[in-house]
Structure 1
């Protein structure tokens, strides 16, 4: 695995350079769905990413409502815990399938893709660390809820900060991944990795 993660760290990048996302200009995002090679896999990939974004937004909305006092502790816990668990399971499952099944196939299509998919895999490790931090902060928050008061406030802020970082990392990663995956599917066809 090459170490483009140090040259293009997820925390500070605003997109992938054209040398890595070299098909992006040939297949710009607004044209993806109209392309003859846009099929079920590309549509599914984008749907999974949209679902992850939506789940992250729901968690942020629930936490914001709790932070602002429009959602009380018991209602927060009932809304938060199942959504948080579902989000983490979805995210981890998606990344495992990519790392074990899809990314190796993309790498094999064209040697120029190697660096991009190494970078995405490196992102997965960083995101996994952010997941663990967010999970730990979520547990602390749920544990603090029965105590109330300043314990809840501190835990709520810790969780909010950890999850905000996770959502930001994930948003950048998903956009960059789409810039690699969808153009590659359009260029090589879905059978090449299906």
Structure 2
């Protein structure tokens, strides 16, 4: 069993959606200030969601017998590594560059930032647990496939948690950040 950190399941407080009414999600693509850098940031979020989906469904396919060890192991290795590395790099960029810029542009961002930073810490712990159980599963797939099934069940549970976490966190992050970018015409 992986000791996953509890993650936030409640939405951001409504007062943190202070600019979302002026810049609703369905208008972002048409806004002239929805620039390439913002599109790329959201595309990275889409990639994280896709990778988490591939990790969850890959484990399901293995557990259902649709994948054997030789077809499943490379998927787990590549997609798991890509997700963990990309999320860590993405959060580093946000913490060191992107979020300070938003905070300087609009002080109201800081309250939401505290929630997002707590999410990042919880996700780091969850990714660490996922990495450990995935590495054990990969070893067992080589050494003792019968024992690997239990470990891959834990991989699946971890992927489910990561997928749910990313759905909550990334949606909230986008709803908080993009309206500030549009309102203050940032990232140009």
TM-score, normalization by structure 1 = 0.89
Q: Give 1:153 deviation, angstroms.
A: 1.9
Q: Give 1:10 deviation, angstroms.
A: 4.3
Distance 1:10 1:109 in 2: 28
TM-score, normalization by structure 2 = 0.91
2:168 pairs with 1:172: yes
Q: Counterpart in 1 of 2:23?
A: 27
Secondary structure of the corresponding residue to residue 15 of structure 2: coil
Distance 1:187 1:111 in 2: 13
- 2:63 corresponds to which of 54, 61, 67: 67
Q: Counterpart in 1 of 2:95?
A: 99
Q: Counterpart in 2 of 1:12?
A: 9
Aligned CA-pair RMSD: 1.4
- Structure 2 unaligned residues grouped into runs of 5+: 1-5
Distance 1:11 1:133 in 2: 17
Distance 1:111 1:45 in 2: 21
Write out aligned runs for 1:115-130 (5 A): 115-130=111-126
2:109 pairs with 1:88: no
Q: Give 1:105 deviation, angstroms.
A: 1.1
75 and 54 in structure 1: CA distance in 2 versus 1, 3 angstrom threshold? same
2:177 pairs with 1:181: yes
- Structure 1 unaligned residues grouped into runs of 5+: 1-8
